[in-house]
Structure 1
């Protein structure tokens, strides 16, 4: 039986334009996009989007959903529910779970988990280590998002610190190599100095001094140098400093870039001044840094040196976050609130709606060669988000969907509200309610 949905009178944001029109969805595909579409069948469900904006669903290229092994913090089901509530219709999840996703067998096990429980489309990064090059070479580029390397330690102890192995990996694969860049020696030295001064209970505002600009720049510049030497396709995750943005170019189209960059919501929103009130709630790796860094990231995002906006959604429990500095883990939940936070920045005049779509949907689709997603186009999968830009709501414990139960945005009032989210043509979220509909598919890649 054919399932048809007609969205009428939407302000459609796509490919640098905003235009009023209708969209006909047939099963999982966008069948037609036009100024006005009329259908005669009584079986078609009609949604009047008068006054609302229709966006392609966000493709989040960096999340940690903690399954398997860390499911007291989160799991694929809970966090993908929060994602669709936040307008994210596809996610790429990271390999630092327990066990780590560093063999083909463990990768396929995660795909099987997601097939049963995900509410948003899914793919996974394969984790590179000091000793799994043979497994990396077996990967099918059409069925896996890419390769993730930790060049600075993070949750899961997956640090790749052998320069010979690193060069071999860079030289041996055509996959997108996504990297976490922080220089470990610099961080260890800074941490030792701070422990000497403060003991274990270091003030949280020292985090960006310990995980410093120098640590980020040193690691990013080395990774880029290696990518240029080997011809690798490099994607640098979560830039956090203005200085690092100087390493990237806006002189060529994204599809021709060999070296690309991402920025995350928290580095665009918070600064080091927020540690006093937010404490460990905004303790991320790499660290939230200065106002000057935030403005530098915005400048690079808008001029094209930074290509993608993501979340680095990485939840921990309240109890874990309440520890002293050396024991409190880095990371926080973001998928439910990232898109509305960007829309808040639109309201403040920082970014246009067209630019938001470019950086959250079109560019991730281009960068990772995602098949038939990231655009509102006939023949593409119907991953769509309908938004009321003037319908304020406040983040509180009662409407947070993360398993960890907290958000760094608690108490914040957002002007914009996501009213409907469609995944593969099916309505999965409607006005603060995730529907009991699992329409997600495994992402495929045109490589």
Structure 2
């Protein structure tokens, strides 16, 4: 049996940091102790002295572009970048081509991942205005949840029929994850700016087109519907300070029926960055103001916001260089998300324990993922070692995304991922990804 002994690590788990050793046997964590002297003769030993050992991050929202959009990225290329970034599990969204809105199309994605994914995987079932029957066939044991676009984004999956929405919310016991932006508000705003600028709308207006009002109107409606129907609701990529008041920190996460996620880019960039980054930081929902960024950080730290994710959504540079109205929204983030949060830690914004809570523990709790997201004996050995004293610069030579660029290009990070384990396999070390298919289908305790 393959085994690894990690020595002298600063182990970060469940709100505590303690020095110790971890023995991995096969796919699982066999033993956690202050000092492990015994080890099988076949094991490799890694001395992690001075470095953090964290549970591998679980990214609950990615777009890996396969099938149908593989010129931008695919499950193999983007999961490879993810493990280099310390992300060991991902939940991918249904707006691929064709959209994953039938059980057959959904299973085709699982089949692709079973042959190619470096990281553990799950795929969300997509809801539309007319596929309730298919949605209700979804197996809660091996599918993460149902995804609804309440504002149009990449693809054509807008659910805008209120009667259908209420049926979905009241009919499925599964977690419903939503993209919330009010379509009518956005269309009216866009037309106003198009009248003045045509297709070449300056990027600085993006957050005014996909506005605070559009986000709040949609999020508040979704929450109202969830409360009315008793649905289990998870709101993706909250982007405004105003929306954070819709969520509570008065009850434990396990008891929450309405939870929220914030993405790395909304914690890092503001509308002031449009001047230098342009469409490279065009996302839906939009990166907004400094006041919004400050409000998101506050809600993250006081536990109104539960999860940090990426909404990783690569496009080619050529696509991004189109005029405003035709430049797609989204950008690649999985390789740099964890180190970006460690950079925030080194700036005094967030503790390492809180990073682990928001990027590993809480996604595992919210989605009820089986035996992942924590450093516990008997759990899968999905782990990352983070060195906070090895600075590096993000550039074209070390970017692993198929699209070949990053919104973080030129940034000097003080931390780096030195090792990543997926199911007990050392898949990333010495700045190199081990080639192979290491991921497993995530299972859920429901």
TM-score category by the smaller chain? over 0.9
2:249 match? 250
* Counterpart Cα distance in 2 of 1:207 and 1:418: 33
1:438 Cα deviation after fit: 2.2
In the TM superposition, residue 119 of structure 1 has moved relative to its aligned partner by 0.1
What is the Cα deviation at residue 40 of structure 1? 4.6
State the partner residue of 2:408.
Answer: 409
Shift of the alpha carbon at 1:63? 0.1
Q: What residue is the counterpart of 2:344 in the other structure?
A: 345
Counterpart for residue 274 of structure 1: 273
- Separation in 2, partners of 1:315, 1:293: 24
Match of 1:303 in 2: 302
Assess if the C-alpha contact under 8 Å between 1:428 and 1:438 holds in 2: no
Relative to structure 1, the CA distance from residue 40 to residue 446 in structure 2 (aligned partners, 3 Å threshold; closer, same or farther) is: closer
Structure 2: how far apart are the matches of 1:172 and 1:407?
40
- Work out whether residues 8 and 50 of structure 1, in 8 Å CA contact, stay in contact via their aligned partners in 2: yes
Q: Secondary structure at the match of 2:124?
A: strand
Given that residues 194 and 202 in structure 1 are in contact (C-alpha distance below 8 angstroms), is that contact kept between their aligned partners in structure 2?
yes
Q: Residues 16-37 of structure 1: CA distance to partner in whole angstroms, max 9, x if unpaired?
A: 0000000000000000000000
**Paired position in structure 1 for 2:150:** 151
Q: Distance in 1 between matches of 2:199 and 2:438?
A: 47
TM-aligned CA deviation for residue 311 of structure 1: 0.1
* CA deviation map 1:326-361 (0-9, x unaligned): 010000000000000000000000000000000000
User: Which deviates more, 35-44 or 124-133?
Assistant: 35-44
2:133 corresponds to 1:134: yes
CA distance in 2, matches of 1:437, 1:18: 32
Where does 1:195-234 land on structure 2 (aligned, <5 Å)? 195-234=194-233
Equivalences for 1:362-373 in 2 at 5 Å?
362-373=361-372
Deviation sequence 1:296-326 (CA, Å, 0-9, x none): 0000000000000000000000000000100
Following TM superposition, the consecutive aligned residue runs of length 4 or more in structure 1 with deviations greater than 3 angstroms are: none
Task: Write the distance in 1 (CA, Å) between the matches of 2:255 and 2:430.
Answer: 40
Structure 2 counterpart of 1:237: 236
- 1:409-438 superposed Cα distances (whole Å, 9 cap, x missing partner): 001000001000000000000121111132
Aligned ranges 1:26-41 → 2 under 5 Å: 26-41=25-40
Aligned equivalents of 1:261, 1:283: Cα separation in 2 = 21
Matches within 5 A, 1:97-176: 97-176=96-175
Q: Distance in 2 between matches of 1:235 and 1:243?
A: 17
1:109-139 deviations in whole A, cap 9, x for unaligned?
A: 0000000000000000100000111011111
Offset at residue 3 of structure 1 (A): 1.1
Given that 1:418 and 1:431 are in contact with CA atoms closer than 8 Å, whether structure 2 keeps it comes out as no
Maintained 8 Å contact 2:240/2:292: yes
TM-score scaled to structure 1, two decimals? 0.99
C-alpha displacement of 1:405:
0.2
Moved more, 431-440 or 70-79: 431-440
8 A contact 2:87–2:334 mirrored in 1: yes
In the alignment, the residues of structure 1 paired with residue 277 and residue 50 of structure 2 have an alpha-carbon distance, to the nearest angstrom, of 36
- Matching of residue 45 in structure 1 with residue 44 in structure 2: yes
- CA–CA distance in structure 1, aligned partners of residues 345 and 173 of structure 2: 36
Where in structure 2 are there 5+ consecutive unaligned residues?
none
Aligned in 2, Cα 1:30/1:40: closer, same or farther, shift over 3 Å?
Answer: closer
Deviation sequence 1:247-285 (CA, Å, 0-9, x none): 000000111100000000000000000000000000000
How much has 1:226 moved relative to structure 2?
Answer: 0.2
TM-superposed CA distance for 1:199, in Å, is 1.0
Aligned-partner Cα distance in 2 for 1:405–1:267: 22
Distance 1:246 1:108 in 2: 38
Q: Are 1:391 and 2:390 matched, yes or no?
A: yes
> 1:205 and 1:434 mapped to 2: Cα distance?
38
Q: Distance in 2 between matches of 1:375 and 1:260?
A: 20
Structure 1: unaligned runs, 5 residues or longer: none
Any residues of structure 2 matched to 1:5-44 within 5 Å, and which?
5-44=4-43
1:143-198, CA deviations, whole angstroms, 9 ceiling, x for partnerless residues? 10000000000111100000000000000001110000000000000000000011
1:233 and 1:380 map into 2 onto residues whose CA distance is 26
Deviates more, 1:130-139 or 1:164-173: 130-139
Aligned alpha-carbon RMSD (Å): 0.5
Question: Which sits farther off after the overlay, 131-140 or 33-42?
Answer: 33-42
Aligned partners of 1:10 and 1:69: how far apart in 2?
Answer: 42
2:423, 2:360 → 1: CA distance?
15
Q: Deviations over 1:187-231 (max 9, x none)?
A: 000000000011110000100000000000000000000000000
Alpha-carbon distance in 2 for matches of 1:55, 1:143: 25
Report the counterpart of residue 332 of structure 1 in structure 2.
331
For the residues of structure 2 that align with 1:150 and 1:41, how far apart are their CA atoms? 50
